[in-house]
Amino acid sequence: MRDMLKPTASFPNSDVRIPGSQLGAISVLGSTGSVGQQALEVAESLGICVRALSADKNIGRLEGQVRKYRPEIAAVFDNAAARDFSVRVRDTSVRVVPGADGLIEAACVDGVDTVVAAVVGTAGLLPTLAAIDMGRRVALANKETLVCAGDFVMKRAQERSAEIIPVDSEHSAIFQCLKSEAPDSVKRIILTASGGPFRGMSREELRNVTPEMALRHPNWIMGEKVTVDSATMMNKGLEIIEAVRLFGLPPKKVSVVVHPESIIHSMVEFIDNSITAQLAATDMRLPIQYALTYPQRKPSPVSGLDLTQLSALTFYEPDYDAFPCLSLALEAVEIGGTACAVLNGANEAAVSLFLRGCLGFYGIYDSVRAALDSIGNIADPSLDDIIAAGEAARNYVFCHNRVAGIERILYVDLGNRCNNSVWNTDRDTRAWTLYSSETAWRQGK
């Protein structure tokens, strides 16, 4: 059994070493997504065994991964896709497990040392907690886990002596900059932002942005939801919340600068006014590898930086008027309680509507703003409260954008099925009655 490192990501302990040369085995949750695919590339290059994989419904890509990496378990979140997948891989030894329980089983499979949590959205929360309860290292790429339930998750990790190592390039950079530093030596964390595809554009210029325009990120290749979040700068807001939870610092000690070159992935300023920065190519395989091998470093397939070819490193203040979602995240983390779960759930729903062409670019901000204003906050929530707050926010956004005449029918995309909900009480108690139906929302568009 590998010696456990400090259970939270803050101020990592450089004195602990992994004994021997083996890096153990991994489970990759969300293996068909961008981060998941790159995690498998890294695992292959390092000779790490893959024991479990998971997907939502992209079973074509998952089948190729199963045949290549030969895991023990393949979890498929969508039940219908899981049935189809079982038929497609019946000539292999893989065990197919469906639904949310399948994700948890993939996180807990025997013989795994590290769980790569790369599932998009709040579906990643419970399997991450399951991995923590097993005392495993979590290479965390799922923002929503810490945004919605960061205090709860970090406390659980400490209780179970489980490691949480960030995979986001910004948080990996901070993690590396904080190595062996004392908590009271930190003046502030400086998260860098590329500015997305619309850097420098005014609010007026952004009013007619289309999904196709928002999905053209200048520096990074990411999934659709994260790419849209980068375009609105909600992604950076979520990263502020994540950093507050991950490193145990107050919001006032986390700031953002726009750095278009994306060479400096983030920085830490210390009380003596010195700044430590982490520089690297824009390649997610590097922070993924560091999360798998920490505290060791291994040779990487990522290209090195030629500093002589860097013409400039530039920095700008964020434009809070053109990108107001950033301010919403700052507001939510200051409020605390269930506010961040509401922010995240409302944003998930609003982005899904935007990608479907049902909502304008600034409709994302308007919808999240309305949800934060309308859904009451619970200051000291339970895990059930956090999950319910996110669900209520998603429901509210679909209701807020409802076509006149069917305002009371609410669409909820829970990932595994489509439901419709009827608002049957006032917004203070936020009680919901869920009714199963596939077609009501589509009929109401």
**Residue 183 covered by a domain:** no
Domain boundary among 144, 167, 190: 167
**Residue 399 covered by a domain:** yes
pLDDT value for 75? 98
Among 40, 236, 223, 230, CA closest to 120: 223
Q: What average pLDDT score do residues 289-311 get? A: 94
Handedness of CA 363, 439, 430, 332 (dihedral sign): negative
Alpha helices (H) in 20-73, listed in sequence order = 34-46, 59-69
pLDDT value for 12? 59
Domain boundary among 167, 190, 225: 167
Residue 185 has pLDDT above 50, yes or no: yes
Q: What average pLDDT score do residues 368-384 get? A: 96
**Residue 172 covered by a domain:** no
Residue 284 has pLDDT above 90, yes or no: yes
Q: Which CATH number characterizes residue 162's domain? A: 3.40.50.720
Q: Which CATH number characterizes residue 381's domain? A: 1.10.1740.10
pLDDT value for 401? 82
With a pLDDT cut of 70, the percent of the chain lying above it is 84
Model confidence at 224, pLDDT cuts 50, 70, 90, reads confident
Among 151, 192, 405, 401, CA closest to 317: 192
Cβ neighbour number for residue 385 with a 10 Å cutoff: 17
**Residue 400 covered by a domain:** yes
The DSSP bridge partners found for residue 122 are none
**Residue 391 covered by a domain:** yes
In this predicted model, what pLDDT tens digit does every residue of 8-33 receive, in sequence order?
554 554 333 333 334 789 999 999 99
**Residue 358 covered by a domain:** yes
Total number of domains in the chain: 2
Residue 431 has pLDDT above 50, yes or no: no
CB-hemisphere CA count at 13 Å for 325? 29
Average pLDDT, the chain: 86
pLDDT value for 405? 29
**Residue 80 covered by a domain:** yes
In this predicted model, what pLDDT tens digit does every residue of 308-321 receive, in sequence order?
998 899 999 999 99
CA distance 85 to 101: 16
> Do residues 340 and 332 make contact, with C-beta atoms less than 8 angstroms apart?
yes
| Residue numbers of the domain that contains 388 | 336-444
Residue 200 has pLDDT above 70, yes or no: yes
Domain boundary among 167, 190, 211: 167
**DSSP, res 198:** G
**Residue 128 covered by a domain:** yes
